[in-house]
Amino acid sequence: MNVQRSPSRAVAWMVAAVACFSLMDAGMKQLSAGYPSLQVTFLRGAASLPFVLVWVLASAGPRSLIPRRWGLHLLRGGLGMAMIGCFVFALRDLPLSTAYTIYFVAPLLIAALSVPLLGERVGPRRWVAIGIGLVGVLVVLRPGVGGFISVPGLMVLAAATAYAIAAITVSLLTRTDTSQSMVVWFLVIMAIGAGLLAIPGWVPLQMAHAPLIAGMGLAGALGQVALTQAFRRGDASLIAPLEYSGLIWVIPWDWLLWRKLPDAWTWVGAAIIVASGLYLLHRERVRAAVRPPPQAHP
């Protein structure tokens, strides 16, 4: 079914997606205080899966779930475990706003990794933007716990790296597999893998946390639906910068739930990282505009 392209609706869906994901991350931070990182990773995947399955079966049917490239699905699921596990570990000590700021380096890493993994060309100006963005990360990490760089900060950086590599696998999977199969199998593999690894240190779930776990799962599922709708209705170059609006959502969560606000270093680092990321997106839009159209075969 063709969906009408609408920039304004795409923006609205993307803002809603970012808001849902920020709510999900706030739930993960709350759970990280009482459960091991791998167990929270399992809960994140398992709690979202029922809601996502309902959406997929209602919108695309069971045939959309058939995977084509199992190896890439398994790799992406493993990267998802590393991404969520490292991020949850960091959330025990870092404010959401600080974790988000460091995580914003992911688009820069994707651009850098596209060279060796996808064979894409990155010009000198884009390399300079990537380097400036990494400087912004160092600005945020410098006032970390215990001196120059904190362990939680490095864990967020590891999570962003795992996300960047996973994003590369998505660009490969979209050539053969549906978006529905990618979402569902990502959650299934992440939940099974993290659940098995979490067994040795498993902490019994408290009934009082059931609404929080269900809410986290629902927020993650709604965020995925909204993200899919956004990319169906608008160009990626329009939508992608809106990921940076996550700071608008997590700063109020930090204050309402933990009475914390970003420090000066976080604000400065965030400005540097966001500026470099937006410049990269601008360069990608310029390259797309000047790229010659494909020639028809004789």
In a domain? residue 88 = yes
Q: Is residue 297 part of a domain?
A: no
Q: From the CA atom positions of the chain, what is the Rg in Å?
A: 19
Tell me if 296 is assigned to some domain.
Answer: no
In a domain, 100, yes or no: yes
Report d(CA 84, CA 86) in Å as an integer.
6
82 part of a folded domain: yes
What would the pLDDT profile of 130-174 be if each residue is shown by its tens digit? Answer: 888 888 888 887 655 444 567 888 999 999 999 888 888 887 888
In a domain, 2, yes or no: no
Structural domain count of the chain: 1
- Domain residues for 164? 7-290
Question: Do residues 263 and 113 make contact, with C-beta atoms less than 8 angstroms apart?
Answer: no
In a domain, 139, yes or no: yes
Distance CA(166)–CA(183), nearest Å, equals: 12
Mean pLDDT by 10 residues, the chain (298 residues): 69 90 96 96 96 90 89 92 95 92 85 76 79 83 59 91 87 83 92 96 96 96 86 72 85 93 86 85 68 42
Residue-by-residue DSSP string for 232-298? HHS-HHHHGGGGGGHHHHHHHHHHHHH-----HHHHHHHHHHHHHHHHHHHHHHHHHHHSPPPPPP-
User: Of 168, 177, 208, 197, which Cα lies nearest the Cα of 79?
Assistant: 168
Could you tell me the two tokens for 132?
A: 């400036």
pLDDT, tens digit, 9 for 90 and up, residues 66-103:
888 899 999 999 999 999 999 999 999 999 999 998 89
Which run of H or E residues covers position 42?
helix 37-59
Report helix, strand or coil for 175. coil
Residue 144 Cα to chain centre, angstroms:
23
